Amino acid sequence: MIVVTGGAGFIGSAVIESLNKRGITDILIVDRLGTSEKWHNLVTLQYLDFIHKDNFLGLLESEAFGSSIDVIFHLGACSSTTEHNADYLIENNFHYTLRIGKWWHKHSRVRFIYASSAATYGNGENGYSDDLQTINKLHPLNMYGYSKHLFDLYAHREGWLEKIVGLKFFNVFGPNEYHKGDMRSVISKAYPGVRDNGVMSLFKSYRSDYQDGGQLRDFIYVKDAVEMTLFFMDNQRVGGIYNIGTGKARSWNDLAKAIFAAAGKQPRIEYIPMPSNLQEKYQYFTEANLERLRAAGCKHKCMSLEDAVKDYVRYLSSGKYLGEL
C-alpha cells in the first residue's frame, strides 16, 4: 500500500493520478478537506480509503496498518509562505513530519519520501545546491521555510538521509491548485484577467539590478515535478535531499508573455507596488541546481515554460477549472 499525505492537495493529487495511470490503486489518502473545494481533486482518483490527517498519526503509531505500508509520500503541509502562526507551522510541518520519520525509523523497509521546500534556501546567498554540506548554512526568510528546514536538519543529524528522500520543490504550477487561495501560482490567479480584460499585474522591482518583472524564478510544471518525484519510488536505493525544478530560471515577464500567448492575447502588463511586508523577504532569484539529481540517475527532461503554460492554460479554459467557484 502507498500512503499519500496531502493526497487531496495540489501535488499529492497529481502524484496519485500518475500512480493510477500505472495501474496502482492500493493508495491511502491522508488529508483534511474542511469546507474547501479541495474534495474535487479526489473525484477522478482511484484509492482504497481516505483518513483525516488528525487521525492518521495515531493509527500509524499504534501499528493499525500492520506491515501493509510500502511507501509513504508525505506531501501534506501548511504551504502558506505568509502564515504568521509559528506554533502552528512547527506542529504541522515539523513535528508531524518528525512523528512519521520516527515511525519510519522502526520500519526502515518502508520507502519514505517527504516534501521539503526551496524556501529553505532563503535569499540564495549560499546558492541553491542540495549538497548536504551546505545544509547548516541555510537561512530561510520566512517561518514556512524554517519549519521545513527543521526536519531537513533533524534527518541529516540522525543519518536518515542515507535512506529517505526530501524533495525541495521550486515554483510548481498546474492543475488542481485552485483551492490554494493566495498561494496559487500567478498563472492560476492571472488567467481570468488575461482572458477577460487582456491585462495582468506583476510586482515592481526594488533592486536596481532587476527591471520590473525581471525577477527570476525556477518555474516547474506539476507534471514534471511528479515524474521527478516518482523516480525516487522507482529507485529505492537513492537517499538524500534533492531539488525539484527545471534548472533554468525565467523571469516573471517571460511567464506573463507565455500566458498572453497561450490565451491568444497581446501582452499588457501593469507593474504594481510590492507590499511593504514582502519587500525584505522577497526572493529575486531562484534556480534549482540539478547536478545531484542527474547524478542519482533522474534524466527527466522538463517541458519548456512556454509549452507548460500553454498546456495549463488549455486546462484552465476547458471548463474543469474550479478556481472561480
Catalytic residue, chosen from 180, 191, 223, 312, is: 180
Count of C-beta atoms within a 10 Å radius of residue 89: 23
The residues with which 240 forms a beta bridge, in sequence order, are 165
Q: Is 313 exposed, middle or buried (0-12, 13-18, 19+ CB in 10 A)?
A: buried
The answer to whether 165 and 114 have CB atoms below 8 angstroms apart is yes
Q: Which residue has the cell 534524466?
A: 299
Catalytic residue among 96, 114, 144, 191: 144
- Cα 19 to chain centroid distance, Å, stands at 17
| Contact call for residues 253 and 202 (beta carbons, < 8 A) | yes
Q: Give yes or no: 180 in active site.
A: yes
User: Dihedral, CA atoms, 96, 97, 98, 103, nearest 10 degrees?
Assistant: 100
Burial bucket for residue 276 (CB in 10 Å: 0-12, 13-18, 19+):
exposed
What is the DSSP-derived secondary structure letter of residue 285? B
Q: Which residue in 7, 72, 20 sits closest to 46, CA to CA?
A: 20
Do residues 162 and 173 make contact, with C-beta atoms less than 8 angstroms apart? no
CA 202/CA 242 separation, integer angstroms: 30
The angle at the Cα of 141, spanning 205 to 73, to the nearest 5 degrees, equals: 115
Name, in order, each residue with C-beta under 8 angstroms of 257's C-beta and a sequence gap of 6 or more. Answer: 267
> Of 320, 131, 136, 150, whose CA–CA distance to 243 is shortest?
131
Just list the catalytic residues: 144, 180
